[in-house]
Amino acid sequence: MALAITTVTPLAIDLSEMPPLMDIEEAKSQAILSDRTTTQVRTPSPPRAPCITSMVRSLTVDDDYFERRVLRATCIQKNPVDDFHPQYSEIVPGLFLADMYTATSAAVIRDLGITHVVSVVKRGCPHYLQDLKHICVPIEDTRHAEILNHLDATTEWIRRALAEGGQVMVHCVWGMSRSASFVIAFLMADRGMSLDDALKYVVARRKIVRPNSGFMVQLSFYEHALRRRRERRTSVESILASMSRGRAWKNVK
């Protein structure tokens, strides 16, 4: 059964301090690519995983051959990246990033042994028929869309799934901006990467990744929040360690 994330405990950061976002003429579907990844993304590259071109029946309710064709056309026709192909990319062992067409393919789900799916789409969230654990994060790919308050819950959900030995698929429509932002956030939170390192790491495994400018700003705030948490945790652990050493000294005869 699909489960939508609707309420998440807000991060302890002041969003009013968020700097003005960049102006984008086509914020609805186009994303501004960071200077750090322009060369990498615009360089034509072959798929890093098998292209999913067959029109097999998907795992969604009442989905058939013709609807699969429409979905595939949607994923390809409106995509701003010339070398885009429906495909999945394994970012870290057990964590995959993909477009919606690939993520709803029964063959892909079966072959990869997917057990958990994160759908980052505002409308048309797929409803998986098989016994898969599935959450839907209702986000649009615009610079004004808020992802910050969803990052903690989604990151923890992915972390638990991987810890249980699961295989996780994260997708939006193209696997470029929305879903990529959540995967980047996971790497920052779980692997301790900086935003810059996490972005480069994901782009190296999926060339088309390009979070929009609004998401990049919010990921920067998330990076700051994670750093503050680690500093507080380190401080508390240091105090507890000192107290423990003090008690041990008193017990010495």
Catalytic residues: 172
In whole angstroms, how large is the CA radius of gyration of the chain? 20
Record the tokens describing residue 48, joined without a space.
Answer: 């890093």
d(CA 229, CA 235) in angstroms, rounded, equals 10
Q: Which of 134, 161, 145, 158 is nearest to 216 (CA)?
A: 145
Q: Could you give phi then psi for residue 132, rounded to 5 degrees?
A: -110, 145
Helical H runs in the chain? Answer: 38-42, 65-77, 100-103, 106-112, 148-163, 178-191, 195-205, 213-250
DSSP sequence for 85-110? -S-EEEEETTEEEE-HHHHTBHHHHH
Nearest Cα to Cα of residue 9 among 159, 162, 149, 218: 149
